[in-house]
Amino acid sequence: MKKEKPFKITQEEVLEAYKKVKANKGAPGIDEVSLQEYENNLKNNLYKLWNRMASGTYFPQAVRSVEIPKKNGKGVRLLGVPTINDRIAQTVIVGRLEPHLEPLFYPDSYGYRPGKKATDAIGVTRERCWRYEWVIEFDVKGLFDNINHELLMKAVQKHIDTKWVLLYIQRSLKAPMKMPDGTEKERSFGTPQGGVISAILSNLFMHYAFDHWITRTWPENPWARYADDGLIHCHTQREAELILEQLKQRMSQCQLEIHPEKTKIVYCKDENRPGDHEHTSFDFLGYTFRARTVKTRKGKYFTGFTPAVSKDAIKSLRVKVRRLRKLAFLSMTELAQLLNPIIRGWANYFKHYTPSAVHSELSQVNLHLARWVMRKYKRFKNKMMAALGWLGTIAKSDPALFVHWKMGICPKGD
């Protein structure tokens, strides 16, 4: 007679978790086992993981720490990369957590949630800026690195009492980080950004640290939050100052800190708001909100407080395109294969609001392509207009070669 496992985890759960991990791809952890290598002995690997999880003998390995350049170009942030086994195990845990926690979360919590998109938060924010003159833009400093384990586990235990879920969350939180220099760093707080389980745990922590607190304390002030970035809309400057002061105190109570440089009070200035302030624009999720000339459907122009792709997002695209334009050894088809996913993802995200800014920037991509042509072919050396004209001819015969060509943004030259 088979001995029953102490924890009721099915092999089907582990298999489904593996499928999700595979779909998300990702780099190997500290064991250097890639997805392809893992699949070479898939059935045995999944069985071993299930057996360890179901019997209580599963212990996660250290998390590989990878330095990622910050979007603003100033310094790096650490991304935690668990092993494939640990990513699968964390996905199993998330599958048990989500049914308990998702109904708890507020609609204006947008980060890393099923059915939620960052562009939804941008749309809601745009409408609220029309109704509220002031907004607090805030950032929680090092959220993923500084979450208090004891406070987090209290929140988890409030909503789920399954022993193995609690046990494996605790073990995952305590798994050390293997730093870029090879040393291992023990962890008594934080949940590595990049871990499968980190998103839902950070959302739960911020649900009580911020979402529930602001909704209860300031019910007339709508807000939106995406992970550690958030906005609170206010009627007056004085109200914004008061809320911001209370927000700092609240974060301190939760052993977190509001980032002093990334947090500010903003006046949503437009043609109907003649006042002024030190800050009249803010960035949120890659978009910059500020006063812009807007054309109505009837062809009339007015100055409205609206979002468009930010300078940082434009800079990020340019850096990626600039790197590729140097690869003169590639064929144009190979260049397109590398460039198209970058352009497609960028354009699909930023086209929703002020698409003219997106078209303007994608036109610049053609200049980068022309520089690639000048580098690759001697006959076009230092001949920008001739290179653009040659690209324009190719665009006419093969308009689907590059994503932005298909959008009608084609090169023009001699």
Average pLDDT (150-171) is: 96
On whether the CB atoms of residues 309 and 354 are closer than 8 A, the answer is: yes
Chain centroid to CA 335? 26
Structure tokens belonging to residue 195: 């871990």
> 277: helix, coil or strand?
coil
User: For 302, what's the count of Cα atoms within 13 Å in the CB-facing half-sphere?
Assistant: 12
**pLDDT at residue 414, rounded to an integer:** 61
The 10s digit of each residue's pLDDT in 251-293 is 999 999 999 999 999 999 998 898 889 999 999 999 999 999 8
pLDDT, one tens digit per residue, over 301-323 is 888 899 999 999 999 999 999 99
Q: What is the CA radius of gyration of the chain?
A: 25
Asked whether the beta carbons of 218 and 110 are under 8 A apart, the reply is no
Distances in Å between the alpha carbon of 107 and those of 116, 122, 284, 401? Answer: 9, 14, 17, 40
Which DSSP helix (H) or strand (E) runs through 282?
strand 282-284
Calculate the dihedral angle through the C-alpha atoms of 105, 213, 188, 168, rounding to the nearest 10 degrees.
-20
- The proportion of the chain whose per-residue pLDDT surpasses 90, expressed as a percent, equals 84
Confidence check: pLDDT of 1 > 50: no
**Which band of pLDDT confidence, cut at 50, 70 and 90, is reported for residue 112?**
very high
pLDDT top residue among 2 and 171: 171
- 397-402 contacts, C-beta under 8 A, 24 or more apart: 401/332, 401/333, 401/336, 402/336, 402/339, 402/340, 402/343, 402/365, 402/369
Say what the pLDDT of residue 74 is. Answer: 62
The encoded tokens of residue 402 equal: 């590059």
73 pLDDT higher than 70: no
Mean pLDDT of 138-163: 96
pLDDT tens digits, 204-221:
999 999 999 999 999 999
Collect contacts of 154-158 with beta carbons under 8 A, ≥24 apart.
155/204, 155/205, 155/207, 155/208, 156/97, 156/201, 156/204
Query: Mean pLDDT across the chain, nearest whole number?
Result: 93
For the cut 70, the answer to whether the pLDDT of residue 110 exceeds it is: yes
d(CA 318, CA 362): 10
Region 390-395 average pLDDT:
94
Q: What is the pLDDT of residue 122?
A: 97
Report pTM: 0.91
Four-residue CA torsion sign, 343, 346, 352, 354: negative
